Structure 1
Amino acid sequence: MRNGMYRDDRTQSKGTVLVFGATGKQGGAVTAALRARGWAVRALVRNTAREEVGRLAATGVEIFAGEFADMASVENAMAGVDGVFSVQPNSGSAGSGIADSEEVRIGKRVADIAMQSGVGHLVYSSAGIISRGKTGLPNLDTKIEIEEHIRSLDLASTILRPATFMDLFTLPGFGLDQGTFSFFVHPDQPFQAIAVEDIGKIAAQVIEHPGVHAGRTIEIAGDELTGLQLAEALSDAADRCVAYHRFPDELLEGNEFLRRNAKLFEDGRATGNANIAALEDEFGLLWRVSDWLAGPGKPALQAALTSDERPLALR
């Protein structure tokens, strides 16, 4: 450790990228993809003593101590980098403890600092659900405000809008331990999904080719399937029958947040707008849900199958 950061002096890189959320799913996937492509990566973390931070440092990632409450630490971590991957904590994520206004403040300030620091390219991870405009859900509409601010700056930027994360299909509490899976779509309704590994893969390629991607807003997904097809994929991967059910009306009627999300899926606003064939032409093959469940998603699926957490739809 040196000057408050870990460093691997043996790193031979194409440049340096500051990745926010590097200990989380999206940021972690971007970090791994960038390192695999020969980029040096910096990560801003609140607690450098955490085990996952040590693992990051062991792969050659520079660890900068800091947090969003101290924007001077963000400026320090961003000094001299070539690119930034920006993703913010969100009030819709369990345990985030962040207000919607704070997400907007952080997202805008990160972009401002990137411009002031002379960063060559900012990649912001937004959400596919906002592609048709405001949703009426504050924790989603925050991203519209951040997107608009980024576009207003004299800063080369690319906005990625991921579809539903495949990780949702392996979470405890959705009924897998009882042989069911419940979600927002009707059984025969198609919707899109993406693996976080593919978010990392796409983001790394976007960062590597700013001349091609700067100024773009890219809807990203790796697969499109119905609720019934998801049940088939889950059943095959679990080696047991898993039935699919849309969240019951009585649950939705009693929970405004779930009800409004379900309406967005029913209207098609949240089901995804990505051109998957075009994405694969540009970025290479992407994970299909069935293959992901049998591969990277398998450990989480097995854990969910044995979880004793009550199904979400029965709470």
Structure 2
Amino acid sequence: MPAGNDRSQTRSADASHDSKTILVFGATGQQGGAVAEALRAAGWNVTALVRAPTSAKAQALADIGVALHQGDLSNGASIRAALAGVYGVFSVQPSSGQGAAYGVSDAQEIGYGKTVADLAVEAGVRHLVYTSVNAAGEEKTGMGHFDSKAEIEAHIRGLAVASTIIRPAGFMELLMLPGMGLDQGRFNFFLRPDQVGQTIAVRDIGRIVAAIFADPDTYVGRTFEIAGDRLTGKDLEKSLSRAAGRPIQYARFPDAVLESNPFLGHLAALFDDGRLAGNADIEGLQREFGPLLSFDAWLDGPGKPLLQRALEAGDADLALR
């Protein structure tokens, strides 16, 4: 990562954003919502492409000053209309890894990601920020919803548009999914007790993206991993026990579960080979973007209601997708 700097001196004049607009895709979701909020806090004009402007999540965006543009990733005309006159685009798409509720195939995700990028070029967008995943790279993972992002990355790099690609580690929010066992005094995950894995709070993804848009000279043309903390399985046990106020026993998912479920088994293998465990330069990121939330700080702050909900949840089927 570049060394820290005085942004008042290094911010490009072209990035002055008092009259510029960023179009945010996925703004009613976790990443897009965090990005929209951070951009608004930094003074940007923000437009969100939303299916249902009257929904509670869309109205929450409107309440913080986000302009709502009704549209759909499957409707190129609505995307084209939303892109008119915008300075920058934050691009994220639903994926098959998010489960059947989203009803998105890997091919559809790739199509959506490429379409957004192509139409951004057509519209003369000055800066495109695409969010991928830390496991993405030249070597295929064998997981469709990761390899789809690598294909979108490659497509974007081949276009005549200034772009930045970030590869977040696993979200802290995802650790609170049902089925992890917290309501039963345990926590199961992919890490071995002494194996290190990285994680990030979605709030910090938003902060990082806002900083990237504010300083294009530093970030255009770059692809890099982002994370806010690194933890072992034992660290998870300690942090969760402290935050829960009672013992939480950590264990990696049982071998029988990983062997019987190809999806989970493949994810575990990607943690073991390091690609999902993450390789972000966290110290460098903190010099560049300021303090990032540790898992403990997240549990005491934005993650507190999610933890409480997980502790009180009834017995649920494993729900990692």
Which bin holds the TM-score, normalised by the shorter protein? over 0.9
Q: List per-residue Cα deviations over 1:20-57 (Å, max 9, x = no partner).
A: 01111100000010000000100011111211211211
- Equivalent position of 1:8 in the other structure: none
Match for residue 30 of structure 2? 25
1:305 CA displacement = 0.1
Distance 1:14 1:228, change over 3 A: farther
The 8 Å contact of residues 21 and 87 in structure 1, kept in 2 or not, is answered as yes
2:276 maps to 270
Distance change >3 Å, CA 151–CA 70, structure 1 → 2: same
The residue number in structure 2 matching 1:15 is 20
Shift of 1:14: 4.4
User: Which residue of 163, 168, 174 maps to 1:168?
Assistant: 174
Query: Does the residue aligned with 1:292 lie in a helix, a strand or coil?
Result: helix
CA deviations 1:176-231 (Å, max 9, x no partner) are: 00011111111110010000001000011101111110000011000011011011
Moved more, 44-53 or 107-116: 44-53
Matched ranges for 1:128-147 at <5 A: 128-131=134-137, 133-147=139-153
Task: After TM superposition, give the deviation of residue 131 of structure 1 in Å.
Answer: 3.8
Q: In 2, Cα distance between the equivalents of 1:235 and 1:265? A: 23
Percent pairwise identity: 53
**Does 1:230 pair with 2:233?**
no
User: Counterpart of 1:198?
Assistant: 204
Secondary structure of the 2:98 match is: coil
Asked if the contact 2:35–2:206 (Cα under 8 Å) also holds between the matched residues in 1, the reply is yes
- Relative contact order: is structure 1 or structure 2 higher (C-alpha 8 Å, sep ≥ 6)? 2
Range moving further from structure 2, 139-148 or 168-177: 168-177
Deviations 1:103-147 (Å, cap 9, x if unpaired)? 000000100011110000000000001246210111110011000
Q: Does 1:97 align with 2:103?
A: yes
What is the TM-score with the length of structure 2 in the denominator? Answer: 0.92
Instruction: Give, as a single letter, the amino acid of the residue that structure 2 aligns with 1:213.
Output: Y
In the alignment, residue 305 of structure 1 is paired with which amino acid? L
Residue of 81, 86, 92 corresponding to 1:76: 81
Indicate yes or no: 2:312 matched with 1:309.
no
Residue aligning to 1:149: 155
Q: Deviations over 1:232-275 (max 9, x none)?
A: 11111111111111010110111001111101111112100100
Unaligned runs of 5+ in 1: 1-11
Where structure 2 has 5 or more consecutive residues not aligned to the other structure, the ranges are 1-16
| CA distance in structure 2 between the aligned counterparts of 1:260 and 1:104, rounded to whole angstroms | 21
Instruction: From the superposition, tell whether residues 132 and 195 of structure 1 become closer, same or farther in structure 2 (CA, over 3 Å).
Output: farther
Give the counterpart letter for 1:242 in structure 2.
I
Q: In the aligned structure 2, how far is the partner of 1:132 from the partner of 1:13?
A: 38
Q: How do 1:105-116 residues align onto structure 2 when only pairs under 5 Å count?
A: 105-116=111-122
- Decide whether the 8 Å contact of 1:163 with 1:192 is kept in 2: yes
Say which of 29, 42, 45 aligns to 1:40: 45
Match in the other structure for 1:3: none
Q: Give TM-score scaled by structure 1 length.
A: 0.94
8 Å contact from structure 1 (residues 219, 274) kept in 2: yes
Measure the CA separation in 2 of the matches of 1:297 and 1:310: 20
TM-superposition CA deviations, 1:140-166 (whole Å, max 9, x none): 100110000000001000000000111
